[in-house]
Amino acid sequence: MSAQPRRVLVLNGPNLGRLGSREPDVYGATSYSGLVEECTRLGKELGFAAEVRETNDEGEMIRWLHEAADGSIPVIINPGAFTHYSYGMRDAAAQRTAPLIEVHISNPYAREEFRHNSVIAAIASGTVAGFGIGSYRLALRALAEELNG
């Protein structure tokens, strides 16, 4: 009998549901459904049951982070615009009881100055940015390495 795959939440903030049509020169041509498929596929390959979610609602993101903390569920999070100002989300993420990896499709430091600040980075296990959808693949692989030693 094989072990149940480890549950992982892949959380996405505002406007990420518009991938593929939103500024493809910055965020690439992969659609949100393509991102979901890729995370689910690679997660399964790595022994994870990846649940990919997206919200434009800060309160919903905070509730998901509480769910992860209460269940010791690892998180990969692309907070989107919440990255730069959501102290409520940061406080929820700080309650983590499992690894939390921040991801960004673009490199925030190569963009507008307001994007250079992340309220999540200081409490995250690590940050992966600037590799397009590959940032999620790198984060999933880093998570697998961290959890499996």
Residues marked as catalytic: 27, 104
91 is in an annotated binding site: yes
Is 70 annotated for ligand binding?
A: no
DSSP 42-99: HHHHTTEEEEEEE-S-HHHHHHHHHHHHHHT--EEEE-GGGGGT-HHHHHHHTT-SS-
Q: Is 101 annotated as belonging to a binding site?
A: no
Would the annotation count 115 as a binding residue? yes
* Partners of 102 in beta bridges: 77, 127
- Known binding residue 66? Answer is no
Tell me whether strands 6-12 and 75-78 are parallel, antiparallel or unpaired: parallel
Residue set of the binding site: 78, 84, 91, 105-106, 115
Residues tagged in the binding site annotation for substrate: 78, 84, 91, 105-106, 115
